[in-house]
Structure 1
Amino acid sequence: MIRTATPGDIPVIHALVRELAEYEKAPHEARATPAQLHDALFGEHPAAYAHIATDDTTGEPVGFALWFLNFSTWRGVHGIYLEDLYVRPDARGAGHGKALLTELARICVARGYERLEWSVLNWNTPSIAFYESLGAHPQNEWTVYRLTDESLRTLGDPT
Protein backbone atom coordinates (compact mmCIF):
# COMPACT_ATOMS: atom_id res chain seq x y z
CA MET A 1 0.00 0.00 0.00
CA ILE A 2 1.21 3.51 -0.83
CA ARG A 3 0.06 6.54 1.10
CA THR A 4 0.95 10.21 1.35
CA ALA A 5 3.29 10.92 4.24
CA THR A 6 2.00 12.76 7.31
CA PRO A 7 3.88 14.74 9.98
CA GLY A 8 3.79 11.63 12.16
CA ASP A 9 5.94 9.85 9.56
CA ILE A 10 8.95 12.12 10.10
CA PRO A 11 10.79 9.68 12.43
CA VAL A 12 10.42 6.81 9.96
CA ILE A 13 11.35 9.02 6.98
CA HIS A 14 14.47 10.13 8.85
CA ALA A 15 15.34 6.51 9.65
CA LEU A 16 14.81 5.47 6.02
CA VAL A 17 17.01 8.34 4.80
CA ARG A 18 19.74 7.13 7.15
CA GLU A 19 19.32 3.54 5.88
CA LEU A 20 19.54 4.76 2.28
CA ALA A 21 22.73 6.68 3.08
CA GLU A 22 24.23 3.51 4.56
CA TYR A 23 23.22 1.54 1.45
CA GLU A 24 24.81 4.19 -0.78
CA LYS A 25 28.00 4.02 1.31
CA ALA A 26 27.75 7.65 2.39
CA PRO A 27 26.25 7.80 5.90
CA HIS A 28 28.44 10.81 6.77
CA GLU A 29 26.71 12.85 4.04
CA ALA A 30 23.18 12.39 5.40
CA ARG A 31 23.02 15.29 7.84
CA ALA A 32 19.33 16.21 7.62
CA THR A 33 17.59 16.36 10.98
CA PRO A 34 14.00 15.35 11.67
CA ALA A 35 13.19 19.05 12.18
CA GLN A 36 14.61 19.92 8.75
CA LEU A 37 12.62 17.14 7.10
CA HIS A 38 9.47 18.29 8.88
CA ASP A 39 9.97 21.86 7.70
CA ALA A 40 10.70 20.77 4.10
CA LEU A 41 7.65 18.50 3.92
CA PHE A 42 5.12 20.19 6.20
CA GLY A 43 6.36 23.69 6.98
CA GLU A 44 4.84 26.98 5.93
CA HIS A 45 6.28 26.64 2.41
CA PRO A 46 6.74 22.91 1.67
CA ALA A 47 9.57 22.26 -0.75
CA ALA A 48 9.15 18.52 -1.05
CA TYR A 49 6.61 15.71 -0.80
CA ALA A 50 6.80 12.12 0.35
CA HIS A 51 4.95 8.86 0.00
CA ILE A 52 5.26 5.86 2.28
CA ALA A 53 5.13 2.20 1.24
CA THR A 54 3.68 -0.04 3.93
CA ASP A 55 3.67 -3.79 4.41
CA ASP A 56 0.34 -5.18 3.24
CA THR A 57 0.05 -7.42 6.29
CA THR A 58 1.43 -5.39 9.18
CA GLY A 59 0.93 -1.85 7.89
CA GLU A 60 4.49 -1.04 8.95
CA PRO A 61 6.45 1.40 6.74
CA VAL A 62 8.94 -0.45 4.53
CA GLY A 63 9.97 2.27 2.08
CA PHE A 64 9.50 5.80 0.88
CA ALA A 65 9.75 8.17 -2.05
CA LEU A 66 10.70 11.79 -1.47
CA TRP A 67 10.24 14.16 -4.40
CA PHE A 68 9.81 17.75 -5.50
CA LEU A 69 8.65 19.63 -8.57
CA ASN A 70 11.01 20.67 -11.32
CA PHE A 71 10.24 22.62 -14.48
CA SER A 72 11.15 22.04 -18.12
CA THR A 73 11.57 25.19 -20.18
CA TRP A 74 11.54 23.00 -23.29
CA ARG A 75 8.23 21.34 -22.47
CA GLY A 76 6.76 24.31 -20.62
CA VAL A 77 5.40 22.23 -17.73
CA HIS A 78 6.39 20.87 -14.36
CA GLY A 79 7.76 17.42 -13.75
CA ILE A 80 8.68 15.40 -10.70
CA TYR A 81 12.24 14.94 -9.56
CA LEU A 82 12.54 11.89 -7.34
CA GLU A 83 15.18 12.71 -4.75
CA ASP A 84 15.04 9.42 -2.85
CA LEU A 85 13.45 6.03 -3.42
CA TYR A 86 14.24 3.38 -0.86
CA VAL A 87 12.74 0.07 0.18
CA ARG A 88 14.16 -1.84 3.12
CA PRO A 89 16.11 -4.94 2.03
CA ASP A 90 13.76 -7.43 3.71
CA ALA A 91 10.79 -5.91 1.82
CA ARG A 92 12.37 -5.80 -1.63
CA GLY A 93 10.85 -7.88 -4.40
CA ALA A 94 7.30 -7.45 -3.10
CA GLY A 95 6.42 -4.60 -5.46
CA HIS A 96 6.85 -1.64 -3.11
CA GLY A 97 9.38 0.20 -5.29
CA LYS A 98 7.23 -0.25 -8.38
CA ALA A 99 4.15 0.89 -6.46
CA LEU A 100 5.95 4.05 -5.33
CA LEU A 101 7.06 4.86 -8.88
CA THR A 102 3.59 4.03 -10.19
CA GLU A 103 2.09 6.54 -7.75
CA LEU A 104 4.49 9.26 -8.88
CA ALA A 105 3.76 8.47 -12.54
CA ARG A 106 0.04 8.65 -11.75
CA ILE A 107 0.53 12.10 -10.22
CA CYS A 108 2.45 13.21 -13.33
CA VAL A 109 -0.29 12.01 -15.67
CA ALA A 110 -3.11 13.46 -13.55
CA ARG A 111 -1.45 16.89 -13.29
CA GLY A 112 -0.14 17.10 -16.85
CA TYR A 113 3.52 16.80 -15.84
CA GLU A 114 5.64 15.39 -18.64
CA ARG A 115 8.71 14.08 -16.83
CA LEU A 116 9.56 11.84 -13.90
CA GLU A 117 13.30 11.96 -13.36
CA TRP A 118 15.87 10.74 -10.85
CA SER A 119 19.54 9.88 -10.51
CA VAL A 120 21.07 6.52 -9.73
CA LEU A 121 24.62 5.66 -8.75
CA ASN A 122 26.52 3.95 -11.57
CA TRP A 123 27.44 0.97 -9.36
CA ASN A 124 23.82 0.32 -8.32
CA THR A 125 23.13 -2.28 -11.01
CA PRO A 126 20.10 -3.86 -9.27
CA SER A 127 18.32 -0.49 -9.25
CA ILE A 128 19.37 0.29 -12.82
CA ALA A 129 17.96 -3.04 -14.01
CA PHE A 130 14.75 -2.38 -12.07
CA TYR A 131 14.31 1.12 -13.55
CA GLU A 132 14.99 -0.10 -17.07
CA SER A 133 12.45 -2.92 -16.62
CA LEU A 134 9.84 -0.19 -16.09
CA GLY A 135 10.81 1.57 -19.31
CA ALA A 136 13.08 4.27 -17.84
CA HIS A 137 16.01 5.38 -19.98
CA PRO A 138 19.38 6.69 -18.80
CA GLN A 139 20.28 10.22 -19.88
CA ASN A 140 23.84 9.38 -20.88
CA GLU A 141 24.53 12.65 -22.63
CA TRP A 142 24.22 14.64 -19.40
CA THR A 143 26.69 14.85 -16.50
CA VAL A 144 25.50 15.97 -13.09
CA TYR A 145 27.50 18.75 -11.46
CA ARG A 146 27.24 19.81 -7.85
CA LEU A 147 28.58 22.59 -5.66
CA THR A 148 28.66 21.90 -1.92
CA ASP A 149 30.51 22.85 1.21
CA GLU A 150 33.56 25.11 0.72
CA SER A 151 33.19 25.39 -3.07
CA LEU A 152 29.61 26.59 -2.68
CA ARG A 153 30.56 29.03 0.08
CA THR A 154 33.47 30.40 -1.94
CA LEU A 155 31.35 31.02 -5.01
CA GLY A 156 28.38 32.36 -3.04
CA ASP A 157 30.39 34.66 -0.77
CA PRO A 158 33.76 35.45 -2.37
CA THR A 159 34.65 38.10 0.25
Structure 2
Amino acid sequence: MPDRPSAAQPTVRPATPEDAGPLADLLAGLMAEEGKTNAPPAPDQLAAWLAGDAPMVEVLLAEADGRSLGYLAFYRAFSLFRPGPVMLVENVYVVPAARGTGIGRRLLATAARIALDRGWGRLELNVAKDNASAAAAYAALGFTAPGESVRRVEDDRLQALADRA
Protein backbone atom coordinates (compact mmCIF):
# COMPACT_ATOMS: atom_id res chain seq x y z
CA MET A 1 0.00 0.00 0.00
CA PRO A 2 1.37 3.48 -0.82
CA ASP A 3 2.50 5.66 2.03
CA ARG A 4 -0.20 7.90 3.39
CA PRO A 5 0.49 11.62 2.89
CA SER A 6 2.04 13.41 5.83
CA ALA A 7 0.04 15.55 8.20
CA ALA A 8 1.13 18.68 6.34
CA GLN A 9 -1.88 20.72 5.30
CA PRO A 10 -2.29 20.35 1.54
CA THR A 11 -2.34 23.44 -0.61
CA VAL A 12 -4.71 23.95 -3.51
CA ARG A 13 -3.54 26.22 -6.28
CA PRO A 14 -4.13 26.83 -9.98
CA ALA A 15 -1.98 24.60 -12.14
CA THR A 16 0.37 26.19 -14.66
CA PRO A 17 1.86 24.74 -17.84
CA GLU A 18 4.92 23.83 -15.73
CA ASP A 19 2.68 21.41 -13.77
CA ALA A 20 1.90 19.34 -16.87
CA GLY A 21 4.17 16.43 -15.86
CA PRO A 22 2.66 15.82 -12.41
CA LEU A 23 -0.82 16.44 -13.85
CA ALA A 24 -0.21 13.84 -16.57
CA ASP A 25 0.75 11.34 -13.84
CA LEU A 26 -2.43 12.08 -11.86
CA LEU A 27 -4.56 11.81 -14.99
CA ALA A 28 -2.96 8.47 -15.87
CA GLY A 29 -3.87 7.24 -12.38
CA LEU A 30 -7.50 8.25 -12.82
CA MET A 31 -7.69 6.69 -16.26
CA ALA A 32 -6.21 3.43 -14.98
CA GLU A 33 -8.72 3.31 -12.10
CA GLU A 34 -11.59 3.91 -14.51
CA GLY A 35 -10.34 1.26 -16.96
CA LYS A 36 -9.80 3.73 -19.80
CA THR A 37 -7.88 2.15 -22.66
CA ASN A 38 -6.92 5.24 -24.65
CA ALA A 39 -3.58 6.93 -24.03
CA PRO A 40 -3.62 9.91 -21.66
CA PRO A 41 -2.57 13.29 -23.03
CA ALA A 42 1.15 13.93 -23.14
CA PRO A 43 2.59 16.57 -20.81
CA ASP A 44 3.33 18.93 -23.72
CA GLN A 45 -0.31 18.67 -24.81
CA LEU A 46 -1.51 19.43 -21.26
CA ALA A 47 0.91 22.35 -21.02
CA ALA A 48 -0.49 23.84 -24.23
CA TRP A 49 -4.07 23.46 -22.96
CA LEU A 50 -3.18 25.21 -19.67
CA ALA A 51 -1.34 28.11 -21.33
CA GLY A 52 -2.48 31.60 -22.21
CA ASP A 53 -5.04 34.09 -21.01
CA ALA A 54 -7.97 31.86 -22.04
CA PRO A 55 -6.77 28.29 -21.47
CA MET A 56 -8.71 25.34 -22.90
CA VAL A 57 -8.99 23.87 -19.40
CA GLU A 58 -8.20 25.12 -15.94
CA VAL A 59 -6.88 22.85 -13.22
CA LEU A 60 -6.62 23.11 -9.46
CA LEU A 61 -3.74 21.08 -8.06
CA ALA A 62 -3.60 19.77 -4.47
CA GLU A 63 -0.13 19.27 -3.03
CA ALA A 64 1.58 18.52 0.27
CA ASP A 65 5.26 18.05 1.03
CA GLY A 66 6.14 18.51 -2.64
CA ARG A 67 3.81 15.71 -3.75
CA SER A 68 0.84 16.11 -6.10
CA LEU A 69 -2.11 14.48 -4.35
CA GLY A 70 -5.07 15.38 -6.54
CA TYR A 71 -6.58 17.71 -9.06
CA LEU A 72 -9.83 19.19 -10.28
CA ALA A 73 -10.14 20.13 -13.97
CA PHE A 74 -12.84 22.53 -15.11
CA TYR A 75 -13.89 24.83 -17.86
CA ARG A 76 -16.53 27.48 -18.50
CA ALA A 77 -19.77 26.30 -20.01
CA PHE A 78 -23.02 28.16 -20.53
CA SER A 79 -26.63 27.51 -19.61
CA LEU A 80 -29.55 29.17 -21.30
CA PHE A 81 -31.80 27.85 -18.53
CA ARG A 82 -29.76 29.19 -15.61
CA PRO A 83 -29.07 31.63 -17.55
CA GLY A 84 -25.39 32.44 -17.82
CA PRO A 85 -21.96 30.92 -17.48
CA VAL A 86 -21.48 27.83 -15.34
CA MET A 87 -18.47 25.83 -14.22
CA LEU A 88 -18.31 22.34 -15.66
CA VAL A 89 -15.99 20.08 -13.69
CA GLU A 90 -14.41 17.50 -15.98
CA ASN A 91 -12.52 15.49 -13.35
CA VAL A 92 -11.94 15.36 -9.63
CA TYR A 93 -9.22 12.94 -8.61
CA VAL A 94 -7.36 12.25 -5.39
CA VAL A 95 -4.61 9.63 -5.22
CA PRO A 96 -5.80 6.55 -3.31
CA ALA A 97 -3.38 7.07 -0.41
CA ALA A 98 -4.79 10.58 0.22
CA ARG A 99 -8.50 9.76 0.06
CA GLY A 100 -10.50 10.52 3.17
CA THR A 101 -8.22 13.41 4.12
CA GLY A 102 -10.49 16.20 2.84
CA ILE A 103 -8.53 16.99 -0.31
CA GLY A 104 -11.51 16.38 -2.58
CA ARG A 105 -13.67 18.69 -0.45
CA ARG A 106 -10.98 21.38 -0.57
CA LEU A 107 -10.69 21.10 -4.35
CA LEU A 108 -14.47 21.42 -4.75
CA ALA A 109 -14.73 24.29 -2.25
CA THR A 110 -11.96 26.15 -4.07
CA ALA A 111 -13.71 25.55 -7.39
CA ALA A 112 -16.97 26.86 -5.90
CA ARG A 113 -15.19 30.02 -4.72
CA ILE A 114 -13.76 30.56 -8.21
CA ALA A 115 -17.19 30.06 -9.79
CA LEU A 116 -18.79 32.61 -7.47
CA ASP A 117 -15.94 35.10 -7.87
CA ARG A 118 -16.38 34.92 -11.64
CA GLY A 119 -20.16 35.27 -11.50
CA TRP A 120 -20.77 31.72 -12.70
CA GLY A 121 -24.09 30.62 -11.26
CA ARG A 122 -23.59 26.88 -11.05
CA LEU A 123 -20.94 24.20 -10.60
CA GLU A 124 -21.79 20.97 -12.37
CA LEU A 125 -20.15 17.57 -12.60
CA ASN A 126 -20.96 14.02 -13.59
CA VAL A 127 -20.55 10.96 -11.41
CA ALA A 128 -20.53 7.36 -12.61
CA LYS A 129 -23.69 5.45 -11.66
CA ASP A 130 -21.63 2.75 -9.95
CA ASN A 131 -19.60 5.20 -7.83
CA ALA A 132 -21.88 5.33 -4.80
CA SER A 133 -19.18 6.66 -2.47
CA ALA A 134 -18.53 9.67 -4.73
CA ALA A 135 -22.27 10.28 -5.15
CA ALA A 136 -22.69 10.25 -1.37
CA ALA A 137 -19.73 12.59 -0.88
CA TYR A 138 -21.13 15.03 -3.45
CA ALA A 139 -24.59 14.89 -1.84
CA ALA A 140 -23.02 15.68 1.55
CA LEU A 141 -21.50 18.79 -0.03
CA GLY A 142 -24.90 19.94 -1.32
CA PHE A 143 -24.88 18.59 -4.87
CA THR A 144 -28.25 17.47 -6.21
CA ALA A 145 -29.10 15.00 -8.97
CA PRO A 146 -31.38 16.84 -11.40
CA GLY A 147 -32.71 13.61 -12.89
CA GLU A 148 -30.85 13.98 -16.14
CA SER A 149 -28.75 11.28 -17.71
CA VAL A 150 -25.66 11.97 -19.80
CA ARG A 151 -25.59 10.82 -23.41
CA ARG A 152 -22.35 10.81 -25.35
CA VAL A 153 -21.19 10.25 -28.90
CA GLU A 154 -17.47 9.93 -29.67
CA ASP A 155 -14.88 8.22 -31.85
CA ASP A 156 -16.36 6.18 -34.74
CA ARG A 157 -19.92 6.98 -33.71
CA LEU A 158 -19.14 10.71 -33.78
CA GLN A 159 -17.77 10.28 -37.28
CA ALA A 160 -20.86 8.32 -38.37
CA LEU A 161 -23.15 11.05 -37.04
CA ALA A 162 -21.11 13.77 -38.74
CA ASP A 163 -21.29 11.85 -42.01
CA ARG A 164 -25.09 12.31 -41.92
CA ALA A 165 -24.74 16.09 -42.23
Calculate the TM-score normalised by the size of structure 2.
Answer: 0.87
Letter in 2 for 1:155: L
Counterpart selection for 2:63 from 35, 54, 58: 54
| 1:41 and 2:50 aligned | yes
Aligned to 1:146: 152
| 1:24 and 2:30 aligned | no
2:18–2:47 contact (8 Å) kept in structure 1? no
2:12–2:107 contact (8 Å) kept in structure 1? yes
Q: Classify the secondary structure of the residue corresponding to 1:139.
A: coil
| 1:11 and 2:21 aligned | yes
| 1:104 and 2:111 aligned | yes
Report sequence identity in percent. 34
1:71–1:79 contact (8 Å) kept in structure 2? yes
Counterpart selection for 2:87 from 77, 80, 86: 80
Cα distance in 1 for residues equivalent to 2:116 and 2:40: 33
Aligned to 2:72: 65
Shift of 1:158: 4.9
Cα distance in 2 for residues equivalent to 1:128 and 1:100: 16
Calculate the TM-score normalised by the size of structure 1.
Answer: 0.90
| 1:92 and 2:102 aligned | no
Kindly report the root-mean-square deviation, in angstroms, between the aligned alpha carbons of the 2 structures: 1.7
| 1:114 and 2:121 aligned | yes
Q: Which runs of no fewer than 5 residues in structure 1 stay unpaired? A: none
Shift of the 71–21 alpha-carbon distance from structure 1 to 2, 3 Å rule, reads same
Shift of 1:23: 1.4
Greater percentage in helix: 1
Cα distance in 1 for residues equivalent to 2:155 and 2:60: 29
Q: Classify the secondary structure of the residue corresponding to 1:29.
A: coil
User: Relative to structure 2, which stretch is displaced further, 34-43 or 117-126?
Assistant: 34-43
> Runs in 1 of length 4+ with deviation above 4 angstroms?
none
Cα distance in 1 for residues equivalent to 2:154 and 2:84: 28
Counterpart selection for 1:128 from 129, 135, 147: 135
Cα distance in 2 for residues equivalent to 1:158 and 1:137: 36
Aligned length: 155
